[in-house]
Amino acid sequence: MSLSSGSHPAHDADAERSTARAAVVLAAVVVALDQGTKLLAERHLLPRHTPHDIIGDVLRFTLTYNPGAAFGMHLGEASRWVFMVLTVLIVGFLIRLYRSLPTGERPLKLAIATVIGGAIGNFVDRIRSPEGVVDFIDVGVGDVRFWTFNLADTAVSLGAACLVLMLWRFESRLHAQQAAAGVPGAAPEAGAAER
């Protein structure tokens, strides 16, 4: 899965190193912000399950612990270990995906780094506490509330949305390039030529 850029190999190597550094820094910043806000939440949002209004009742900070996964998914006593193993597998897959992408796909690689940073942030919680992941961002109106979440969840959700969109556009460009080069069975998808 590669797109020919036609650029100089030395320039490509420099660009790839720059992207890799940016990806590592981005993932580290996500983890640091996530863990920092969680420590503040644990210190200042006591007692648990007590809402602290930030913007009326639309945005509240409410300290909770989630032993399962996002959006309340729970597998009983095994949840902590199952989700730790799943996190390792998902991060491993994302690292392989990152490495398979050609030079020049910087936004796509940074989206992957954002998801990895969020996944590691919640993974750290599961390692340090049997109670599970620290959640505290509480959004809703009155009694109609979204699931309580954290910055790591936000990074995973936004990064994954960008990742899906950019992978779709990447595949469309790849099919269009292969079709232009006469590769059999590589007819571009409808509308790919316009993107």
Active site residue 143: no
CA 38 to chain centre: 17
User: Does residue 128 belong to any structural domain of this protein?
Assistant: yes
**Which candidate in 34, 125, 135, 138 is catalytic?**
135
User: Does residue 19 belong to any structural domain of this protein?
Assistant: yes
Instruction: Read off the pLDDT of residues 7-27 as tens digits, 9 standing for 90 and up.
Output: 567 778 889 999 999 999 999
User: Does residue 194 belong to any structural domain of this protein?
Assistant: no
Active site residue 53: no
Q: How many domains, in total, are found in the chain?
A: 1
Instruction: Read off the pLDDT of residues 111-143 as tens digits, 9 standing for 90 and up.
Output: 999 999 999 999 999 999 989 999 999 999 999
**Which candidate in 34, 125, 138, 153 is catalytic?**
153
Where in the sequence is the domain holding 79, given as residue range(s)?
9-184
**Which helix (H) or strand (E) is 173 found in, with range?**
helix 151-180
Instruction: Read off the pLDDT of residues 25-74 as tens digits, 9 standing for 90 and up.
Output: 999 999 999 999 999 999 999 999 999 999 999 999 999 999 877 656 66
User: Does residue 65 belong to any structural domain of this protein?
Assistant: yes
DSSP 87-104: HHHHHHHHHHHHHHSPTT
Instruction: Give the pTM.
Output: 0.83
Cβ neighbourhood burial of 93 (10 Å; 0-12, 13-18, 19+)? exposed
User: Does residue 45 belong to any structural domain of this protein?
Assistant: yes
Give, as one character, the DSSP assignment of residue 13: H
**CA–CA separation, 97 and 89 (whole Å):** 12
User: Does residue 67 belong to any structural domain of this protein?
Assistant: yes
